[in-house]
Structures are given as C-alpha cells and as structure tokens.
C-alpha cells in the first residue's frame, strides 16, 4: 500500500496493538525511559503518578516519534526514546487535567484520578507529570524539544480553553470545531512526529512533511473519536461514552446536522440539542437522528478526507517499511470500531 | 545592620513596597519581560491569563532574583530579567492551581479564577502559565534555569501533595509540617536566589549561600503566613483568612499546642481541632486558646529562628547595599502585620 490511495476499511487491521507490533521493541525502550521519569517522583506523589501512568494505553504517539526517527535515518537513540517518552508524558498529563474538566469517571477501564483522590490531587499530579516531561526535555543536549514542545503544549491548552469557552453553545461553526481539534489533539500528533524526525537527524523539510502527516492524522483521529462518543460501544472503547453531549460539547456530526436543517427547523433543532445536553434519552434519540440524516456519514467523510491529506504528505517521504506503517496507522484511524 | 543580629520589629519597615523601593527599576524591567511572556498567550486564553497575572502582587521573588544577580556582580541582564519573570510566573501558576485546591474565594482582593470562570478554566490557565515559564526558560542559551527550575517545581508539587494527603489529620508532626513548608514555599524562594546568583555570574558557593538564605526566608515567611491566617486582619492581608482551619490544615501553632497538651487533655484537644475544622465559632475560640497557651508565641519564635539562620547565611556573602536589602527583607518577614 503506497501513495495517497485511501485504504478500504476491510484492509485495515482492527486493533491498534497489531498495527504497532513491528515497533514493539522500540516502544519497550521508550517504556523504560517513561518509567524512569516517573520513578523520580517523590514519596508522596509516587502512587498517584503511577496510577496516572496506567492511562498510558495506546502508545500511539511514541510509536509515531520512533517511526519518524527511523525514517529520518537515525534510529531510536537514547535522545529519541527520551523525546518519545516526553510526548507520552505530556499526553498523560493533559488526560489527567482533562478528566477534571470532563467529570468523566472511567478512562481505559481505570477509575480516573479525580474520582479516586479528588480534584486536588488530580490537578497536582497532572502538574507533576508536566514537570517531569519538561525536566527530561531540558536535560537533552539539543534544546529543540524543550523549546518546541513547550510551544506545542501552549497550543494544546489554547484549544482546550477555546473548547471550554464554547461549551453549551450550539452555534459553534465547523471552522471553530476544526481549530479546537487542531489544538487539543492534532498539535501533539504533529509534535510527536516532528521531534522524532528532528532527533533522528532529519532535515527541516522532512520534519515538516512528517509533522503535516501527524496534523492530519490527529484531525482524523479526533473526528472519529467524537463520532465514537455518539455511537460507540463502551466495552470496546473502554471509556465513558455520550459525555460530549452531556457536557454541552458540539462535535462535527451535530454541527453538520444543525447547519443542514432548513431555516424553519433551525430553532427546534437547537432546542433538541440543548435538551440532549441535559437528558440522556434525548441524547440517544439525537444520535439516531444524526445517523438517519446522514450527518454521521458526512463526519466520517471529513475524517477520510483528513486521512487522504495525511497520506499525500507521505508521498515525498522516503519509502520503506516505516512509511508503510504510517500508512497502515492512517487506515486504522478511520476503521476503528464504530 | 549587618551579620546575624536579629533586627527588632521596630527597625523593620511595615510594608513590602517600601522595602523593595531600591529595586523598583529592576522590577520594572522584570515586569516588562513578564508581560511579554503573557502577551504570547492565544486569543482564547489571553483574558484569563491577564486576570491571573493580577495576582502578581508582592514581587518578592523577582526582587530576590535581582538582588542575588547584583550581589554576584553581573547586574540585571536580559537573562536575569527573564529568569526573575519565570520564577514569578511559576509562583503565579501555583497560586492559580492552589486556589482550586483551597476553594479560597479572594486572592489579593481579586476574585480567584475558579470563582469567576470555574475549575475547568483555572486548571488550564495554570497550565498555560507553567508552559510560558518553561518556554521562556528553554530559550535561554544556558540551560541551567530550565533544568533546575523544573526540579524545583517538582519539589513544590511534592510539598503540596504531601499537605493534601495529611489534610484532616491532627497527628501531623512538626517535622512533617516543616517538610511540607520546605516544598510548597521555601523551595521556590531558594530557587529565586539560586537562578539570580547563577545568571549574575556567581560561583556555586555563592549560589548555595544565597539559596540557603532563601530557604530559611521562605520557611519563616510561610510560618508567619500560617499564623496570620489564624490571627490576621482580612483587610490588611488582602485574602480570605481562617481557611487553613476550615480546610483541615494543621499549621505550626496548632501542632505545637496539641503536642504540649498533657496526656489527659490530648483526646479532647484533638476533638476541639476537629470541631474547629467544621465550625467557624470553634475556630475563633481555638485561635484565642492558641494565643493564651503561648503556642502562637512559640510559632513566632520558630519563624524568628529561621530568620536568624537566614541572616547567618549572608555573613559570607559580599557586603553592600544589596546584602543589606536581603537583611531588611528578612526583618520584614517576621514583622508583618499580625
């Protein structure tokens, strides 16, 4: 499978562990670095930090960093393993602070920190994870990761604050939704690839191409994630679903559905969305309406377009098994259980 | 005033602005850097970040950084102004996250972020402030600040997590209290002086001496702060008082009072403390009892001992107006309105 041809779902593996199997050895090395960073936690934060590390589930971002480093020709050196672990640590920290925001009770079938120890501890443990990530980045000889990733974190936070500000607002546009997703998800996907390419010795052009692939992959990932929140199976996805609606979060299917209502239905459609934010039954009915109206399919199409753009970015990247894995990952993102 | 002689309260100025007047020009330079760092915030976080920056009241830590740099002989260069602003930014970030923890409603006569925009926004804005601090530190040519301050932040968080874990526990020892205060307060005071001495060109010995002064100053500051929470005047202190007791936080006067109860009174003393955690009236009575029993005076004595240690650290530091200012600041800390 090469170039920009979009793989059909039938070609795509149905579970991430299988997709990542070829980089398992790299991920084990990264895992050791990750554990070392957390091991530096003090006696009072240690248990909390270890609990948070259990959220470290999919290992998708560190896999992207390792693949980018291999494509750049440098392989998974100590520095690459460190930046991969730093990216995963940043991701874990944002999850911990995100859960405070979402009030979600489950994450990867593990009780969230704030449910178990209270908001207080969760805020501080997220801060500890960020501090370990910054600390490890600051000790690299090449300051690129510390400088660049602190900027990426700023972009992630800006996206989350934006999302927070438009909560309970049915008039969020598709453009705003995309800017939010760019910040809260795609920026760190891009970052994972850029630091991998950089510490793997790749030039700026390669960093940029792989970064752009990461951006589009992240956009697709979040669009699919939001769609699974509406229609997924809690057992398979492993976290509480339907939380977007109950939190007043507008996601792409809802935005597209509302946009496409005829003028005379706009008012009642808005009211329906607002009721769904409050009541579980209305949320289920709305999800059925989203499917029937074709809004879910249009959101899926938007995710597939991002994947096409991601694959196009890979065309000027050196061919080989690592590039093929990035292509397979792209196919996986749009074929996840729905 | 020189050496280790402890100044009497009568010698000490009664307001921090007057104490800091000689470094006002330095603090203005730091203020410009601080504003520049915050100015880099995105459009959605900008207002929230600006609101948080209003907590930036006493400017004590950046003053310590500037004084240390001047004592080291390098003056307040661009890099020194940057690290001073970074220290203040870190302090501001911890205040924002602290308020989520404390549920305090007022800070420097300004509504706290979480009261005005909710916990969600406050967690994210604190994260933004940390990211700006790390980002600015990472862009310095000399990586010392990024490496050292990320470790200091880890120590601050460890102290706060420890404090959180012993909440509502009347059996906290004086030693535990001191370890908590070392983390949550003294570590960043020490850090403010160490980075100032370092970027001012001071050798390791000077960094260590000034850092030790900062540690003891911070210990004294927090002991006095905890005492003011019991007996201060809200108008003068400018923040909600009595919160330590209502949050189940054991502070030094309470720890010393309980320790010194005779065995037959231990049980009822514990019960009194627990009632004070729940009821405002009991808290007021307990504060009167702490004064009457001499426990408040013993806590004040502990603060004065820390100040003596702080002044002793200055003896091997080059004499001059900057060292005199550090001595004046030490006197100020123990003479604050009570």
CA-to-CA distance for A331 and A337, rounded, in angstroms?
12
Residue A170 lies in a domain: yes
The whole-angstrom distance between B72's CA and the closest CA on chain A is: 25
Residue B229 lies in a domain: yes
More confident residue, B108 or B88: B88
Residue A44 main-chain phi, psi, to 5 deg: -85, -25
pLDDT tens for chain A, 338 residues long, are 333 344 444 444 457 778 888 899 999 999 999 999 988 888 888 888 888 877 666 789 999 999 999 999 999 999 999 999 999 999 999 988 887 754 444 444 455 555 556 777 889 999 999 999 999 999 999 999 999 999 999 999 999 999 988 988 999 999 999 999 999 999 999 999 999 999 999 999 999 999 999 999 999 999 998 988 877 655 555 555 566 776 778 999 999 999 999 999 999 999 988 888 887 777 778 888 988 999 999 999 999 999 999 999 999 999 999 999 999 999 998 887 44
Inter-chain residue contact A147 with B139, CB threshold 8 Å: yes
Quote the ipTM score.
Answer: 0.88
pLDDT on residue B297: 93
Domain that holds residue B18: 9-335
Q: Is residue A1 included in any domain, yes or no?
A: no
* pLDDT at res. A98: 83
Would you state the pLDDT for residue A229? Answer: 80
Percentage of chain B modeled with pLDDT above 90: 62
State residue B167's pLDDT score.
85
* Separation of first and last alpha carbons in chain B: 24
pLDDT for the residue numbered B108: 45
Cβ B127–A124 below 8 Å, yes or no?
A: no
Say yes or no to pLDDT of B183 above 90.
yes
Contact at CB, A158 and B101, closer than 8 angstroms: no
Count, residues in chain A: 338
Calculate Rg over the CA atoms of chain B.
20
Which of A131, A181, A182 would you mutate first to test chain B, the one with the most B CBs within 10 A?
A131
pLDDT at B13: 42
Distance CA B81, CA A129 (A): 27
Any domain includes B48: yes
* Cα dihedral B115, B120, B121, B122 sign: positive
Cβ contact (<8 Å) for B124 and A100? no
Q: How far apart are CA A298 and CA B247, in angstroms?
A: 51
B190: pLDDT confidence band, cut at 50, 70 and 90? Answer: very high
> Does the beta-carbon distance from B135 to A151 stay under 8 Å?
yes
Q: Residue B46 has what pLDDT? A: 87
Half-sphere exposure of B205 (CA within 13 A, CB side): 4
Q: How many structural domains does chain B have?
A: 1
Residue B4 lies in a domain: no
Phi first, then psi: what are they for B41, rounded to 5°? -65, 150
The pLDDT of residue A202: 97
Q: What CATH number should be reported for the domain holding residue B32?
A: 1.10.600.10
- Average pLDDT of B94-112? 62
More confident call, B93 vs B105: B93
Q: What is the pLDDT at residue B7?
A: 43
For residues B283-291, give the mean pLDDT: 84
Domain assignment present for residue A114? The answer is yes
Does some domain include residue A265?
yes
Residue B317: DSSP 8-state: S
Decide which of B45 and A140 is more confident: A140
Residues of B in contact with A120 (CB under 8 A): 100-101, 164
Q: What pLDDT sits at residue B110?
A: 53
Residue-level pLDDT at A206: 98
Q: Is residue B129 part of a domain?
A: yes
């Amino acid at each position: 499978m090469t170039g920009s041809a979009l793989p059909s779902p039938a070609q795509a593996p149905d579970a991430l562990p299988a997709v990542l199997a070829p980089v398992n050895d790299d991920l084990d090395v990264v895992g050791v670095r990750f554990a070392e960073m957390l091991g530096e936690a003090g006696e009072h934060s240690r248990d909390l930090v270890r609990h948070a590390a259990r959220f470290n589930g999919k290992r998708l971002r560190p896999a992207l960093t390792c693949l980018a480093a291999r494509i750049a020709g440098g392989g998974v050196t100590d520095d690459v393993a460190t930046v991969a672990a730093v990216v995963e640590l940043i991701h874990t920290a944002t999850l911990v602070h995100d859960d405070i925001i979402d009030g979600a009770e489950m994450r990867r079938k593990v009780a969230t920190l704030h449910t178990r120890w209270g908001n207080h501890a969760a805020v501080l443990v997220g801060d500890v994870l960020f501090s370990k990530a910054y600390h490890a980045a600051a000790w690299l000889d090449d300051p690129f990761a510390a400088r660049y990733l602190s900027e990426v974190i700023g972009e992630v936070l800006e996206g989350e604050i934006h999302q927070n500000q438009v909560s309970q607002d049915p008039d969020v546009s598709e453009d705003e939704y995309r800017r939010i997703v760019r910040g809260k998800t795609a920026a760190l996907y891009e970052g994972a690839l850029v630091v991998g390419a950089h510490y793997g010795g790749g030039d700026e052009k390669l960093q940029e191409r792989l970064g752009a692939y990461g951006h589009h992959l992240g956009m697709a990932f979040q669009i699919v994630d939001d769609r699974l929140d509406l229609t997924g199976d809690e057992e398979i996805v492993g976290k509480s679903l339907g939380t977007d609606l109950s939190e007043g979060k507008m996601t792409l299917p809802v935005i597209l559905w509302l946009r496409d209502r005829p003028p005379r239905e706009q008012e009642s459609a808005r009211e329906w969305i607002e009721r769904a934010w409050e009541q579980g039954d209305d949320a289920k009915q709305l999800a059925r309406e989203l499917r029937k109206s074709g809004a879910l399919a249009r959101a899926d199409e938007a995710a597939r377009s991002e994947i096409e753009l991601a694959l196009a970015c890979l065309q000027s990247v050196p061919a080989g098994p690592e590039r093929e894995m990035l292509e397979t990952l792209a196919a996986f993102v749009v074929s996840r259980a729905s």
